[in-house]
A = this chain, B = another copy of it.
Amino acid sequence: MVKLIALYKKPSDIEAFDKHYAEVHMPLTSKMPGLKKVEISRIKGSPMGASEYHVMAEMYFENMEALKSSMSSPEGRASGKDLMGFAKDVVCMMIAEVEETAPVAALN
């Protein structure tokens, strides 16, 4: 499994950001072909206190080819264009291979 990660720093207008994210960006992103799962994480802080980050979205695909094909599809381009319009200054994108998803019993 691979994933496309979008990590957002706190935007200047959190309410407007959250509204656009929920009402426009997520519906566009959810149309991307080959998308297996989306996990949205609301950053609440860090072990040291506050965090500069606001939210992280993880979009899972079967493999790297499926991820890249989806990103270059019309739906992927529409999501990317929207992203650059509302979050260019706060988003960091990463592409990752999910190496291990282990229950604790398997780790110990």
Q: Is A19 an interface residue (CB 8 A)?
A: no
Q: Hey, which chain B residues are within 8 Å of A103, CB to CB?
A: 36-37
Interface string of A37-53 (1 = CB under 8 A from B): 11111111111100101
Q: Hey, which chain B residues are within 8 Å of A92, CB to CB?
A: 46
Determine how close the nearest CB of chain B comes to the CB of A83; give it in whole angstroms: 10
Contact, CB under 8 Å: B94 / A31:
no
19 contacts between A and B (CB under 8 A): A3-B41, A30-B108, A31-B108, A35-B104, A36-B104, A37-B101, A37-B102, A37-B103, A38-B101, A38-B102, A38-B104, A39-B98, A40-B100, A41-B97, A42-B97, A43-B96, A46-B95, A53-B94, A56-B96
